[in-house]
Amino acid sequence: MQKLEQLYEGKAKKVFQTDDPNLYIVDYKDDATAFNGLKKGTIVGKGVINNQMTNRFMAKLEKAGVPTHFVEELSQRETVVKKVSIVPLEVIIRNISAGSFAKRYGVEEGIVFDAPTIEFSYKNDDLGDPLLNAYHALALKLATPEEIETIKKYAFQVNDFLKDFWASCGVTLVDFKLEFGRLEDGTIVLADEISPDTCRLWDSKTHEKLDKDRFRRDLGGVEDAYAEVMRRMNEAL
């Protein structure tokens, strides 16, 4: 597998072409941003943790019946993935109130929902990723009705899996964001990452935040939190 020219550089990852037209290599950075890039920083070692955590989850989800873009971990920061075109929707599942949900609806963080919620935002940095519903996504031709149904089904399956996994590590899965892609033949697969950048993870006993909120909110101990969730994941595997 040959790493060829860089196709794209995002806030947390770079994507490279390879000598196989159906495969890309993603390279995870330590760069961290928040508030649509307004806040910038570095979380030392984050790229390695996010790469390894994502790949382990993707391998497990694949076995549990959720197709993913994951192919093979190449190095500490690099992974071979299937070439997809990303569906421009951020898919957010919440089990407990926090973040923009708590702010938007004027409620405190930590309210445990009877059932998980799902919401979509339009993945568009220029617009600040605005919230939209399935009708808006259809009107904007971001996805077909069938694709939206598939994405919803997979997102809830991912939640069931992740919630149970993290619970076994003494970690509460508060909420998370997923992205999906289309393979050449149109098959919808889980893409992007599943990491402390994209999930809210609280210690089940102390409710201490073990995710990127420590960076977003200047809580300190950012690297330690990432290392702690990675340690707990390794212990459980």
Q: Which residue of this chain has its Cβ atom nearest to ligand TMP in the complex? A: 99
Q: In terms of CB distance, is 82 or 212 closer to ligand TMP?
A: 212
Cβ pair 14, 26 in contact under 8 A = yes
Q: Least distance in Å: CB of 4 to ligand TMP? A: 28
Q: In terms of CB distance, is 176 or 180 closer to ligand TMP?
A: 176
88 binds ligand TMP, rule: CB under 6 A:
no
53: helix, coil or strand?
helix
d(CA 85, CA 189): 10
Q: In terms of CB distance, is 27 or 197 closer to ligand TMP?
A: 197
Whose structure tokens read 């999906």?
Answer: 180
Which residue among 6, 75, 76, 100 contacts ligand TMP (CB under 6 A)? Answer: 100
Whose structure tokens read 């890309």?
Answer: 24
Q: Least distance in Å: CB of 150 to ligand TMP? A: 20
d(CA 31, CA 34): 10
Which residue among 88, 99, 116, 221 contacts ligand TMP (CB under 6 A)? Answer: 99
Q: Least distance in Å: CB of 201 to ligand TMP? A: 9
d(CA 83, CA 102): 36
Which residue among 49, 92, 155, 222 contacts ligand TMP (CB under 6 A)? Answer: 92
Whose structure tokens read 């928040």?
Answer: 34
Distance of CA 6 to the CA centre of its chain: 22
- Considering only residues 159 to 218 of the shown chain, the ones binding ligand TMP according to CB under 6 A are 175-177, 198-200
Whose structure tokens read 């806030």?
Answer: 11
What is the total count of residues that contact ligand TMP (CB under 6 A)?
11
Radius of gyration of the chain (CA): 17
d(CA 70, CA 88): 19
85 binds ligand TMP, rule: CB under 6 A:
no
Residues that bind ligand TMP (CB under 6 A): 92, 98-101, 175-177, 198-200
